Amino acid sequence: MTWRIRDRATFEALRRSGALARRGPVTVTYASVGIAPEPRVAYAVGRRTGKAVTRNRLRRRLRAAVGHVPGLAPGAYLVAAGPEAVEMGFEELKNQVAEAMTRASGRAE
């Protein structure tokens, strides 16, 4: 189970964090700030990706992919996706999200 990021301090910690991993069109930033013990996730899908319908669909697919990642380390994650992610199949997207999240959280430790 993952939680949402809502507070500005966590977004600032993510911005300052050096733990970044990129896998294809998916980029994950990780920060292990003094926050709740569960993983918290925010999503970033830019306007270059397409119209609002396309961006929202990709955001929902990213949310579903994050739900399939086993054993997430506690901390804050920012999952960003580029326009190429729209054309990817769900299995490929899921694998790239999982690998990027694992690498990002491993770099911070």
d(C-alpha 33, C-alpha 53), whole Å: 33
Contact 21, 80 (CB under 8 A): no
| pLDDT tens-place values along the chain, 109 residues long | 678 888 898 889 888 887 899 999 999 999 987 666 789 999 999 999 999 999 999 999 999 999 999 888 889 999 999 999 999 999 999 999 999 999 998 865 5
Q: Mention every residue, 6+ apart, whose C-beta is less than 8 A from residue 6.
A: none
pLDDT of residue 59: 97
Does residue 29 sit in helix, strand or coil? Answer: strand
